[in-house]
Amino acid sequence: MLSQQATVFALSQVELPQRLIKFKNCRILRNHTIIREDLWVRNGKIINPEKIFFDEKGQAHVQIDCHNAIISPGFIDLQINGGYGVDFSYDINSVEDGILKVSKKLLAHGVTSFCPTLVTSPKEIYHQVLPKIKRKAGGKHGATILGVHVEGPFISIEKKGAHPENCIRELENGFDTLEAVYGDISDVSIITLAPEKPRVPEVISELVRRGIIVSVGHSMADLIHGETAVKHGASLITHLFNAMMPFHHRDPGLVGLLASNEIPDGKTVYFGIITDGIHTHGAALRIAYRTHPKGLIIVTDAISAMGLEEGTHRIGQYSIEVRDHKAYVAGTNTLCGSIAPMDECIRVFLHETQCPIEFALEAASLHPATCLGISDRKGTLNYEADADFILLDDNLIVHSAWIAGECVYENNKHSIPKVDVQPPEN
């Protein structure tokens, strides 16, 4: 085991991008299976070692003994409203600093990429905040920003949840209204809207044409509304079961999309699901997992209170109270987001569903990446993908996080796996 000084020196060597790094004595998640195999990284990418052996006749500059750790693709959170005292929809005068703070702290929970999420807000909030949240590559400063998830304001009043009713809007002039409300949408990746609203199908078609993922949610929609939205290009459901019509055997609502026979051939409907042990009962998690596992995406829906003590905090235009490890709109019993980080949500999901570890990890990495259309470079350990990954133990405790082949986080509370660096083998 290296001394602390030697470990720091070792990491400084690892950070040099041109170096060939070999992660050995590890189990890697690839092609839905955890296999015992070395992981090779160079220039921020995962590479095929056969080319090194046979074409270049080369050896690793740095070898890292992972002490039997699991190496998983870094987690990707598609819905996170804030954390650590930061609310992306409220702290408009310090948006950049808030994003930086959250993105840095997410690394400790294995999140290497995320979509900052804005809840329903006044028009002027969108115009001030959206231009300040840009897509940004990750690194030691924090997780990669994959674009904003705008949740509302084109949602149902009846299923508003913690979204302020006075800010909820109609699409009177279709896409023109959407642009007028949001302003700059060049760095928006996902928009959540209620599919039953007038003019929504045409708006969905235009958003998809522009490369924006459309998610249906906060909705009173029946199944036909949901199927119509999917046929026009919607591909995601926002926090399944929450803020939507409950399943009914004569009209299953948006939940019915998981088993609909009206989904176009070759299309997958994905769904975010909050697995904090509070928002979704374990039986509901099992139903979703067993019904449509391919589309399941673990999201935190985390709010500013994540990482803080119980008390009063913010989500958008509302004050919130954290009581007994649950977050409520102040003065009510309305749940308003989670305070559980991603690694905890994955452990809860694994416990409740008894699914394979591989599935739980991919539900927070490969599945969201595939939904966003970036699985060629994120959410995977395939060759030529970005070297964004995490080292975990068998209890799924994060020991270190890596972005583009650079160590961006180390868990000092755990001694295994410790980063060891050895000279190339002869």
Instruction: Please report, in range form, the residues annotated as the binding site for Zn(2+).
Output: 151, 218, 239
Measured on CA atoms in the order 98, 104, 110, 115, is the torsion positive or negative? Answer: positive
> Measuring CA to CA, which residue among 410, 417, 365 is closest to residue 73?
365
18 touches 42 (CB < 8 A): yes
* Residue linked to tokens 């699409």: 171
Q: What share of the chain is helix, strand, coil (3-state, %, to 5)?
A: 30, 25, 45
200-209 vs 223-231: helix crossing angle, rounded to 10 = 30
Residue 253 CA to chain centroid, in angstroms?
A: 25
Point out the annotated binding site for substrate.
162, 242-243, 250, 279, 335-337
* Residue linked to tokens 């591989």: 358
Q: How far is CA 75 from CA 141, 358, 380, 402, in A?
A: 17, 13, 10, 11
How far apart, in whole angstroms, are the C-alpha atoms of residue 87 and residue 101? 11
Beta-sheet pairing, 39-42 with 45-46: antiparallel
How far apart, in whole angstroms, are the C-alpha atoms of residue 156 and residue 165? 9
Q: Give the list of residues 6+ apart from residue 377 with CB closer than 8 angstroms, or none.
A: 384, 385, 386
Point out the annotated binding site.
151, 162, 218, 239, 242-243, 250, 279, 335-337
> Measuring CA to CA, which residue among 396, 282, 381 is closest to residue 346?
396
* Residue linked to tokens 């099992």: 286
Q: Residue 79: what residue type?
A: Q
- Tally helices (H) and strands (E) across the chain: 11, 23
Q: Which of 77, 222, 301, 388 is catalytic?
A: 301
Q: On the CB side of 29, how many CA atoms lie within 13 Å of its CA?
A: 29
What number of residues does the chain have?
Answer: 426
Other Cβ atoms within 10 Å of 406 Cβ, number: 20
Per the annotation, the verdict on 65 as an active-site residue is no
The token pair at 101 is 């703070």
Residues acting as catalytic residues: 301
